Structure 1
Amino acid sequence: MSLKRIEQHYAFDGEQCKYSHYSEVLQCDMTFSIYLPSNKEKKKIPLIWWLSGLTCTDDNFSQKSGFQRLAEKYQVAVIIPDTSPRGENVTDDKAWDLGQGAGFYLNAVQDPWAKHYKMYTYVTDELTGIASTLVHNFSGKESIMGHSMGGHGALVIGMKNAARFKSISAFAPILSPSQVPWGIKAFSSYLGEDKASWKEWDASELVKGTDIPPILITQGTQDMFYPEQLEETTFLENARENNQEVNYKKIEGYDHSYFFIATFLEDHFDFHMKHLK
């Protein structure tokens, strides 16, 4: 394995690390970040995945949210993948909402994207294997959360792997990508024009499934992308019709920023830890 630690910072007695490695799945060099709590009592610790949004890297959450205080408080490891494959040889687009920085956590099947854009398999398989070597005394229990495009990713990955993840949460997620501009653009490019194939990557379709983990969603009313990109009606109707456990909170005055995430992040950690014990 080509794993190399390129940053290490102590934070709240734990370690915030950044690694680089060559991804066989994505066929390019990748970075990711991980927080390892102090675990002074040598107990089994769970793992939470954080998936970031459009234009982000693994640095946004680690540097802006202040999550390390909570991860140390609850003694949980947190892993943060990048949002897409990267590099000069990786297909890109001039627009900020497609290509590098906009992987949408799916497996592309259309050229020229198919060679590199397989973020779903990268997260659920390759990076999962790496994480298991880094989290000492891992309990085997996992939850997943994310923001915006990453909220879409957390919901899709969490629901497609319902036996694996104990809970799912999201801040301002793209809930119905097949119906909104961001999702239509990405799905058309990565998956092609057959909209039937889009259902596999649409949270509003996947929520019709069975044995889905409990879900928490927080959305600000002053979000510049709400409701155009983040409309919730279809998702919540499908969840209700299929008796899914979804707590959707709409908070007055908050926007799409990391100020919003930092404000309500403890609510999400509390939610996940109830299911990770």
Structure 2
Amino acid sequence: MGLEVLNQWKCFGGTQSVYAHASEATGTRMEFSVFDPGKGPAPVLYWLSGLTCTWENFTAKAGAQRYAAEHGLILVCPDTSPRGDDVPDAADEYDFGKGAGFYVNATQQPWSKNYCMYDYVVSELPGVAEATVETTGQRGISGHSMGGHGALTIALKNPDQYKSVSAFSPIVAPSQVPWGHKALGRYLGDDRAAWADYDATELVVARGWNGDILIDQGSKDQFLEEQLRSTLFSDACAKAGVTLDLRFQEGYDHSYYFVASFIGEHIAWHAARL
């Protein structure tokens, strides 16, 4: 199957599109959304969503198109996991299986056949998505929760591909929290060295980052103390000499109301760096 146009809408002077294609990385049909401000060649900001999400959550709820049009950024938002009747799943677990790909390349059966979201986002999606728009060749990446984990780890491992990285409420140290123990243990097995390759707190110390990083975290986030543990990453950045602006936003939780409140600032921040 070639690239299929599922929907297109006029939006803030640009075009919001949704596409589908056959993915080599996941072996499944994958959907993604693209917002093109329609002002000629532009940088691309990739957005990675969190647990249970598809491309639609960010595209419909964040209100990001207004700011992307203002600052001249293309937005690309993929799904969070492979989909399909033949894709293995943990149907009664919201934090594993479909909707919970964790942006890793699974090595354990039965997950390894389809759950290759790292390769999908890094190696396959840019060629497919950017063929639909005119770009400057500059890319940034951001995300929320599990997607914040994905954005940080992908950027830290691919600094030549992504020039800017930010996150909302990211899982910064999956090797040290229950969500990560579950996902990394089942996708990657018991080898903690393999886990470290998808752990932003480990990666920033090992690899550094030639630039600054922006993270927004709600102070009333119900997952902050057990699952997110933002200060582990700030401590690691300090150790690595990486400039991090970790902003605790008073009274905000983990929801898209929080994302929508600050997405304009993140888009302006990326635009200044791209």
Question: Could you tell me whether the CA contact under 8 Å between 1:9 and 1:16 is conserved in 2?
Answer: yes
Please report how far the alpha carbon of residue 73 of structure 1 lies from its aligned counterpart in structure 2 after TM superposition. Answer: 0.5
Query: For 1:89-108, what aligned pairs fall within 5 Å after superposition?
Result: 89-93=86-90, 94-108=92-106
Q: How does 1:253-264 map to 2 (within 5 A)?
A: 253-264=251-262
Pick aligned residue for 2:186 from 181, 184, 189: 189
Aligned residue identity for 2:119: T
The alignment status of 1:3 with 2:3, answered yes or no, reads: yes
Runs of 4 or more off by more than 6 Å in structure 1?
Answer: none
Which deviations, in whole Å up to 9, do the C-alpha atoms of 1:217-251 show, x marking residues without a partner?
Answer: 00001111111101023211111011001110001
Assess if the C-alpha contact under 8 Å between 1:222 and 1:254 holds in 2.
yes
2:166 aligns to what? 169
Provide the rounded CA distance (Å) in 2 between the counterparts of 1:77 and 1:232: 28
Aligned mates of 2:137, 2:152 — CA distance in 1: 20
Residue equivalent to 1:14: 14
**How far did residue 38 of structure 1 move?**
2.1
| Structure 1 residue 46 displacement after superposition | 0.4
Q: Which of 124, 127, 132 pairs up with 2:125? A: 127
| Deviation of 1:212 (Å) | 3.7
With normalisation by structure 2, the TM-score equals 0.97
Bigger helix fraction: 2
1:272 aligns with 2:270: yes
C-alpha distance after superposition, 1:106-149 (max 9, x if no partner): 1000001000000000011111111221122x100010000000
> Contact between 1:51 and 1:81, CA under 8 Å: does it hold in 2?
yes
> 1:102, CA displacement in angstroms?
0.1
- Give 1:86-235 correspondences, 5 Å limit: 86-93=83-90, 94-136=92-134, 138-208=135-205, 209-235=207-233
Q: Is the partner of 1:99 in helix, strand or coil? A: coil
Find the aligned partners of 2:209 and 2:251 in 1 and give their Cα distance: 34
Distance in 1 (CA, whole Å) between partners of 2:201 and 2:16 is 34
Q: Report the number of matched residues.
A: 272
The AA in structure 1 aligned to 2:54 is: T
- Which of 177-186 and 212-221 deviates more? 212-221
1:27 aligns to 2:27 (yes or no): yes
- Matched-pair identity in %: 47
TM-score normalized with structure 1 length? 0.96
AA in 2 matched with 1:12: F
My pick for the range that moved more, 150-159 or 124-133, is 124-133
Aligned-CA RMSD value: 1.0
Counterpart contact for 2:138–2:162, Cα < 8 Å: yes
Deviation at 1:213?
A: 3.6
Which residues of structure 1 form unaligned runs of 5+?
Answer: none
Q: Using the alignment, how far apart are the partners of 2:208 and 2:254 within structure 1?
A: 31
Separation in 2, partners of 1:234, 1:265: 23
Aligned residues of 1:166 and 1:214 also touching (Cα < 8 A):
no
Separation in 2, partners of 1:54, 1:213: 28
Does the 8 Å CA contact 2:224/2:230 hold for their aligned counterparts? no
CA distance in structure 1 between the partners assigned to 2:59 and 2:81 by the alignment: 17
Question: Is the partner of 1:228 in helix, strand or coil?
Answer: helix
* Deviations, residues 136-168 of structure 1 (Å, cap 9, x unaligned): 2x1000100000000000000111101221110
CA distance, structure 1, for counterparts of residue 168 and residue 223 of structure 2: 12
Q: What letter matches 2:8 in structure 1?
A: Q
Aligned residues of 1:26 and 1:117 also touching (Cα < 8 A)? yes
